[in-house]
């Protein structure tokens, strides 16, 4: 595994000497003449180890060490100091330096110290990766829902997770496209390889090609070193291209080639590189409309649309609101140091009536706010934000004579309304079916029949 090492010293000859001494060890060496310049390099490059002089003009070694401890706590720092100032080296160790080397230094001693520091860095990185995987697992658990619309998503994930086919996730903003992408990666045959996410709308157009494919040193102004692009970072793993509909037309042809031939060409480097990447793209735009408007390449659309997975908006999976809200309340409550056991029936009813234009992301934000303000273990309707009660209800969001209000499947629409009412009654009665039947004005036998027909799991409601 290659590593990036930053040498900070105000003596250019010493920087060159260290760069030469370390270049044989599969290391990419960057240099800086002072602490401020060193921090600038670290903002631009993924540095694994810093070797810094103690005495420098401007920002000296101790100040640089303090800044690195604050900004990049996982990057080890080796301090260079003269034999006569061992006391400084001891102080630097107390302040968080990994080790020190004395000038003039022995090359073998330098190699050993650098090797130990990079091993330490790799251990920290592995720990960080494992924690990230646990976070991903928690996110996968948040693919909560048993509505027919969401079951179709789960079935699609199960069908494609072991495949290397390109996947296109479509749906409104906030419907959980990245969480579904992570679920596909985490449960697929590339789970032990990188998952690299890129928001195509968040990167300036002038930098997007370099970000995707990398660049060679000197390829353009500011390219002070080679840079590995996202395709190479995701090699053998999964590349998630979010907001793919915002990608400039000029770059779409190169993305198409990368998908078709699995070959990329870094900016300023004529040499081609093969990559093995499973691509998952996502968009909240109508790409076919964008194709018709000449805003998106038709050939790229069909290359991306090998396995499409549409994600339903939350208003089309009303029965999933309660379990999603409980999931968020439990996880967010634990983070806030609160024990949240659930929601009052009035709170659940209010949430089920709201249209949720921001979808799951808006629901999560709503629950986070309610978790903060809740005074007890059960979130009440008074803990919910006021806009839930002032906005039009989901079923009242449009005039009754609008064409979109006429369901294409009346039986399914009525079943959804019936299930929502039964869930609310069971919530209010803590799962006691006799009391819920009385509340609904039906017989207990009728309620039992409807629970079976609608596949309602009572034990999950009272948990």
**Which among 278, 305, 310 has a CA at the least distance from the CA of 195?**
278
Q: How far apart are CA 63 and CA 70, in angstroms?
A: 11
Residue 436 phi, psi dihedral angles, 5° rounding: -65, -40
Residue recorded with tokens 């793993």? 237
Mean pLDDT, to the nearest integer, of 38-63? 87
Handedness of CA 50, 53, 58, 64 (dihedral sign): positive
Residue 288 burial (CB count, 10 A)? 12
Q: How far apart are CA 66 and CA 39, in angstroms?
A: 11
Non-local (6+) Cβ contacts of 366 within 8 A are 351, 384, 385, 388
Instruction: Determine the pLDDT at residue 343.
Output: 92
The yes-or-no verdict on residue 194 having pLDDT over 90 is yes
Non-local (6+) Cβ contacts of 163 within 8 A are 188, 307
The yes-or-no verdict on residue 462 having pLDDT over 60 is no
| pLDDT tens digits along 92-147 | 677 788 888 887 778 888 888 888 988 888 888 777 666 555 554 444 444 788 88
**Which among 396, 399, 400, 336 has a CA at the least distance from the CA of 370?**
336
Least confident among 133-147, 196-210, 277-291, 404-418: 133-147
According to DSSP, the β-strands at 49-53 and 3-8 are parallel
Max mean pLDDT among 19-33, 41-55, 215-229, 307-321 falls in 307-321
Instruction: Determine the pLDDT at residue 459.
Output: 65
Mean pLDDT, to the nearest integer, of 22-47? 85
Number of H helices, E strands in the chain: 20, 16
84 compared with 113, residue with greater pLDDT: 113
Mean pLDDT, to the nearest integer, of 243-269? 89
Q: How far apart are CA 360 and CA 348, in angstroms?
A: 15
Cα dihedral value 304, 305, 311, 313, nearest 10: 90
In this prediction, residue 289 has a pLDDT band, given cuts at 50, 70 and 90, of very high
Q: How far apart are CA 95 and CA 91, in angstroms?
A: 6
**Which among 413, 415, 342 has a CA at the least distance from the CA of 376?**
342
**Percent of the chain having pLDDT more than 70?**
87
The yes-or-no verdict on residue 210 having pLDDT over 90 is no
According to DSSP, the β-strands at 273-274 and 263-264 are antiparallel
Q: Give me Rg for the CA atoms of the chain.
A: 28
In this prediction, residue 408 has a pLDDT band, given cuts at 50, 70 and 90, of low
Instruction: Determine the pLDDT at residue 401.
Output: 44
Print burial letters for 73-83: b (CB count within 10 Å at least 16), e (below 16): eebbbbbbbee
The yes-or-no verdict on residue 397 having pLDDT over 60 is no
The yes-or-no verdict on residue 257 having pLDDT over 60 is yes
In this prediction, residue 166 has a pLDDT band, given cuts at 50, 70 and 90, of very high
List, in order of start, the domains of the chain with CATH numbers: 3-127 (3.40.50.2300), 142-312 (3.40.50.300), 315-461 (1.10.8.60)
């Amino acid at each position: 595994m290659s590593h990036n090492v930053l040498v900070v010293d105000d003596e250019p000859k010493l920087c060159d000497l260290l760069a030469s001494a370390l270049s044989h060890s599969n290391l990419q060496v960057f240099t800086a003449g002072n602490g401020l310049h060193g921090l600038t390099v670290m903002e631009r490059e993924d540095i694994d180890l810093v070797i810094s002089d103690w005495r420098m003009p401007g920002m000296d070694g101790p100040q640089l060490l303090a800044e690195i401890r604050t900004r990049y706590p996982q990057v080890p720092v080796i301090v260079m100091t003269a034999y006569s100032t061992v006391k400084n080296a001891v102080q630097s160790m107390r302040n968080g330096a990994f080790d020190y080397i004395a000038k003039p230094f022995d090359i073998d001693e330098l190699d050993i110290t650098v090797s130990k520091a990079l091993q330490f860095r790799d251990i920290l990185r592995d720990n960080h990766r494992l924690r990230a995987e646990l976070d991903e697992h928690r996110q996968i658990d948040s693919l909560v829902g048993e509505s027919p619309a969401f079951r179709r998503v789960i079935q699609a994930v199960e069908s494609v997770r072991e495949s290397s086919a390109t996947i296109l996730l479509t749906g409104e903003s906030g419907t959980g496209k990245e969480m579904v992408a992570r679920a596909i990666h985490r449960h697929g045959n590339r789970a032990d390889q990188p998952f690299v996410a890129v928001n195509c709308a968040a990167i300036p157009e002038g930098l997007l090609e370099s970000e995707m494919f990398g660049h060679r040193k000197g390829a353009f102004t500011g390219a002070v070193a080679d840079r590995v692009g996202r395709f190479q970072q995701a090699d053998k793993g999964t590349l998630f291209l979010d907001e793919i509909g915002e990608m400039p037309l000029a770059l779409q042809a190169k993305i198409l080639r990368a998908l078709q031939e699995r070959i990329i060409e870094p900016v300023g480097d004529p040499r081609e590189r093969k990559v093995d990447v499973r691509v998952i793209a996502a968009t909240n735009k109508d790409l076919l409309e964008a194709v018709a408007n000449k805003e998106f390449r038709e050939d790229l659309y069909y290359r991306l649309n090998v396995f499409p997975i549409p994600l339903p908006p939350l208003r089309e999976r009303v029965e999933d609101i309660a379990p999603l809200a409980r999931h968020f309340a439990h996880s967010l409550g634990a983070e806030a140091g609160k024990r949240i056991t659930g929601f009052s029936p009035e709170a659940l009813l209010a949430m089920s009536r709201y249209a949720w234009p921001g979808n799951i992301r808006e629901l999560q934000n709503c629950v986070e706010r309610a978790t903060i303000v809740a005074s007890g273990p059960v979130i009440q309707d008074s803990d919910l934000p006021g806009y839930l009660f002032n906005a039009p209800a989901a079923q009242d969001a449009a005039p009754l004579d609008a064409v979109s209000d006429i369901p294409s499947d009346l039986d399914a629409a009525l079943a959804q309304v019936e299930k929502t009412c039964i869930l609310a009654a069971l919530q209010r009665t803590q799962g006691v079916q006799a009391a819920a039947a009385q509340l609904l004005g039906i017989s207990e036998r009728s309620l039992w029949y409807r629970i079976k027909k609608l596949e309602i799991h009572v034990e999950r409601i009272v948990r």
